[in-house]
């Protein structure tokens, strides 16, 4: 320990940053709307817009641009086998009739995002086919449809053989109605959600889900591809398969025929893996087939429920680690959070709002919110991810090549870190200036700190324990 009681810092660790060694172009940050939008869409107009601004406003919030809309399959809004807020109703009934007044809350949030976000990108996804297409639906039983969208009997398949075309056309008909009646165009359609995970079980899982294995996925994708073309939805393409883990995503992708792969321009994966996973082989397989790669869902707990600690950095540090790995190693072109707003049944959200009977429409931010802001406020759509040493740092250059952003995290609860960042291959080796600094920690929420001097393309900075720090350098030499 130093004489003043503070820990002594070791010599700075040199971190080389190569602003001109560019990897993928980043499309943006986002969130799925299931299921929080189904609840908050019933709040007052003022509060709805506040939440949307917190997430999608580039000036006031996180600056998200991607929204994943959940096309539901459930029959009953009061389905006893689904948790609060998770009953997303099918627009179509088993007799073939349509009711477009359904799912008004989620749709209200989507429409606010459309007018708030800069150049929004919309993806539609399905957790489960409509109830009458599932294997768990028994029309001969008085309550045969109740809970059937939670999974198949004994955790098995839950799309009835022969219903692949009906399911595909249902999804496409929904997209066409959104375009023609509500002026909302989805760039991609993802027909599945974690379809090989094995945990979707009839009347047990408490949320919509369906096991649909690779063979049947291919049938749905073929039918959906044709249905999109026949409906004139040329602006919408397919994405698949939104598996839970990267290993599952790779196995599903490699099980597809070349004909199926040709119909899918975008490969989605979730990254609920242990952080020891290596996504390199998956990335190489997707890139070898010439496909776009999205990280389309992940979420991180912020400590133990039910006592949310407003100063806890637990979830924030997991989020930072996930972002760095997904963008650096997997080279994802988008990063989408699962539940941006979460209730008092878990601590996964970026924003905490006690949904159940929340008459005051109250909410507050978790540290995950500010940690994501360390990335999303500064690494904007169109930025290029660039090479930087160390698993704790992520770097990107703005679309106009003028701004370099470096974000780093320190997972240690007790030990600070000292880094010497060295910009490599500069056209002007004597490049000098100021580095703007922003930090999230137990006591800071994206706090703007004193700038650091940049001298000859190098600057040194201390990273406190349990923190996420952003460094911004303007006027990058070209």
Kindly report, residue by residue over 55-102, the tens digit of the pLDDT.
Answer: 999 999 999 999 999 999 999 998 888 999 999 999 999 999 999 999
* Same domain? 451 vs 421: yes
Residues 363 and 434 in one domain: no
Residue whose entry in the numeric block shows the structure tokens 């321009």: 265
- Average per-residue pLDDT for the chain: 94
Would 394 be classed as within a structural domain?
A: yes
Q: How far is the C-alpha of 120 from the C-alpha of 116, rounded, in Å?
A: 9
pLDDT at 304: 78
pLDDT at residue 103 greater than cutoff 70: yes
Q: Work out how many domains the chain is built from and give that number.
A: 2
Are 237 and 253 in a shared domain? yes
* 404 lies in the same domain as 353: no
Q: Can you give the CATH number for the domain in which 431 is found?
A: 2.60.40.1180
Measure Cα distances from 56 to 117, 118, 335, 406 in Å: 5, 8, 14, 22
Q: What is the pLDDT of residues 150-200, one digit of tens each?
A: 999 889 999 999 999 999 999 999 999 999 999 999 999 999 999 999 999
* pLDDT at residue 143, as a whole number: 61
Last residue of a domain, one of 356, 381, 406: 381
200: in domain: yes
What does the pLDDT read at residue 349? 93
Report whether the peptide linkage leading into residue 35 is cis, meaning its omega lies within 30 degrees of zero.
Answer: yes
pLDDT (0 to 100) of residue 142? 66
Domain boundary among 366, 381, 396: 381
- What domain range includes position 469? 13-20+388-473
The whole-angstrom separation of Cα 172 and Cα 424 is 49
Looking at the structure, tell me whether residues 397 and 326 fall in a common domain. no
CA dihedral 342, 345, 348, 350 (to 10 degrees): 30
How would you class 232 by CB atoms within 10 Å of its CB: exposed for 0-12, middle for 13-18, buried for 19 or more?
A: exposed
d(CA 59, CA 380): 12
> Same domain, yes or no, for 318 and 404?
no
Q: Is residue 6 part of a domain?
A: no
φ, ψ of residue 313 in degrees (nearest 5): -100, 10
Q: What is the pLDDT of residues 292-349, one digit of tens each?
A: 999 999 999 988 776 668 899 999 999 999 999 999 999 999 999 999 999 877 889 9
Q: What is the pLDDT confidence band of residue 144, given thresholds at 50, 70 and 90?
A: low
Q: Which uninterrupted H or E stretch holds 436? A: strand 433-441
Nearest to 287 by CA among 335, 333, 337: 333
Same domain membership, residue 196 and residue 174: yes
Q: Do 116 and 221 have their domain in common?
A: yes
Contact between 462 and 417 (Cβ < 8 Å): yes
Which pTM does this prediction carry?
A: 0.96
Which of 362, 381, 400 is a domain's end point? Answer: 381
Tell me, what's the pLDDT at 191?
98
């Amino acid at each position: 320990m130093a004489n003043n009681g503070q820990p002594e810092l070791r010599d700075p660790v040199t971190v080389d940053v190569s602003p001109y060694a560019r990897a993928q172009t980043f499309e943006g940050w986002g969130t799925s709307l299931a299921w929080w939008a189904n609840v908050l869409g019933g709040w007052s107009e003022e509060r709805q817009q506040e939440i949307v601004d917190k997430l999608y406003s580039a000036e006031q919030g996180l600056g998200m641009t991607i929204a994943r809309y959940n096309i539901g399959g459930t029959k009953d809004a009061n389905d006893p086998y689904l948790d609060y807020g998770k009953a997303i109703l099918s627009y179509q009934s088993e007799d073939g009739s349509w009711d477009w007044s359904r799912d008004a809350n989620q749709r209200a949030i989507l429409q606010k995002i459309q007018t708030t976000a800069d150049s929004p990108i919309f993806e539609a996804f399905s957790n489960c086919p409509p109830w009458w297409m599932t294997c768990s639906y028994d029309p001969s039983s008085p309550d045969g449809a109740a809970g059937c969208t939670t999974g198949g009997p004994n955790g098995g398949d839950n799309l009835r053989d022969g219903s692949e075309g009906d399911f595909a056309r249902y999804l496409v008909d929904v997209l066409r109605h959104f375009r023609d009646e509500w002026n909302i165009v989805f760039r991609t359609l993802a027909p599945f959600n974690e379809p090989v995970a094995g945990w979707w079980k009839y009347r047990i899982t408490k949320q919509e889900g369906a096991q649909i294995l690779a063979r049947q996925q291919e049938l749905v994708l073929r039918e959906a591809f044709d249905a999109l073309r026949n409906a004139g939805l040329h602006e919408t393409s397919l994405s698949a398969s939104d598996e839970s883990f990267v290993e599952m995503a790779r196995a599903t992708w490699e099980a597809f025929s070349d004909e199926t792969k040709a119909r899918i321009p975008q490969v989605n994966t979730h990254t609920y893996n242990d952080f020891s996973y290596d996504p390199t082989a998956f990335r190489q397989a997707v890139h070898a087939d010439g496909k776009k790669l999205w990280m389309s869902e992940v979420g991180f707990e912020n400590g133990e429920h039910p006592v949310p600690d407003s100063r806890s950095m637990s979830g924030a540090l997991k989020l930072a680690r996930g972002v760095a790995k997904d963008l650096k190693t997997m080279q994802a072109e988008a990063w989408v959070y699962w539940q941006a707003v979460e209730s008092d049944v878990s601590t996964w959200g970026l924003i905490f709002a006690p949904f159940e009977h929340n008459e005051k429409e109250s909410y507050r931010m978790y540290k995950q919110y500010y940690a994501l802001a360390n990335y999303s406020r500064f690494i904007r759509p169109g930025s290029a991810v660039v090479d930087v040493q160390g698993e704790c740092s992520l770097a990107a250059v703005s679309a106009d090549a003028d701004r370099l952003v470096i974000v780093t995290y320190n997972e240690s609860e007790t030990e600070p870190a000292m880094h010497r960042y060295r910009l490599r291959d500069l056209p002007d080796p004597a490049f000098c200036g100021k580095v703007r600094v922003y930090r999230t920690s137990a006591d800071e929420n994206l706090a703007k700190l004193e700038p650091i001097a940049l001298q000859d393309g190098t600057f040194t900075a201390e990273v406190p324990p349990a923190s996420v720090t952003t460094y911004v350098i303007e006027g990058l030499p070209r």
